[in-house]
Amino acid sequence: MSRVYFHMIDGTVEVYGSERAHAAWLAEAPGAALMLSFAFELQLELAYQRPGMLRMLWSDNRTFEYAGQTWNGWNLILNTAIDIGSDVLRFLTRMHAQCEIHGWFAGEDRAWLADLVQQAIDSKVVSADMPGPNGQRFATGWCDLVTALRRNNQNPVVMSYSVCNQFPRSELWHEPPQIEGDADGCQLDDKFEELAEADQWRVCMPTIAAMRITPTSLREQGFGDGRSALDFQLAVIAQNNA
């Protein structure tokens, strides 16, 4: 089973991939349902006139033209959750959309994130455990994440997904040493492995502000151009009244 990793210099927590699939559905279903209100304007084939099928159609960042503008379907869906969702839903949306590209949290926001995950557990939006074989139950990783986040308020947290590239790794080295004749990068990998773990983190730590998730960006920072199904609705109204 796949995992979403929350990497910390003081340990890594694994959240089951089933929780990411659950987050994906919660994050994308409201926007997909709203966009299906405009199936005629979108000229959708009948096969895609269901939320699950529309999510699949647009999951590869597919764009389309409407009213003289270019729209990104996947961003429209995700940004709808950002516009109308609770902070818990916004967090799950960002985890789903950014775990593969190393979305991250600063150390100072660990307590806030721990509270948010605990809120998700308490409200049953996510599951602390799941049923397994022979009546047993297994932990999904959320409770472990809360505990780990509360250990300190200094070290950052970086996400990755088990079926994609992990963190840290030599390809993320901001200013790698130049090694002649190392076309396949093997010598660079060796040098990276020689670094202490703290140094590996230091040379790979994400610096792109858009990848940092904060209490403010969680609510205010959308994906792509930030437009949601609500913006598309306004465009349809304007087009019909033109």
Enumerate the domain spans of the chain: 3-168+205-234, 169-204
Predicted pLDDT of residue 185: 62
Given CA atoms 24, 28, 33, 38 in this order, what sign does their dihedral have? negative
- Residue 59 one-letter amino acid: S
Predicted pLDDT of residue 94: 96
Residue-level pLDDT, tens digit, the chain, 242 residues: 799 999 999 899 999 999 999 999 999 999 999 999 999 999 999 988 888 899 889 988 889 999 999 999 999 999 999 999 999 999 999 999 999 999 999 999 999 999 999 999 999 999 999 887 777 888 999 999 999 999 999 899 999 999 998 899 888 888 878 776 666 667 778 888 889 988 898 888 887 777 899 999 999 999 999 999 999 999 999 998 87
Predicted pLDDT of residue 205: 87
For residue 25 the two structure tokens come to 């559905």
Closest CA to 188 of 198, 203, 202: 203
The DSSP output letter for 130 is E
| 94 phi, psi to nearest 5 deg | -70, -40
Its pTM stands at 0.91
Predicted pLDDT of residue 84: 95
Predicted pLDDT of residue 175: 84
* Distance of alpha carbon 148 from alpha carbon 178, whole angstroms: 37
Neighbours of 42 (CB within 10 A): 20
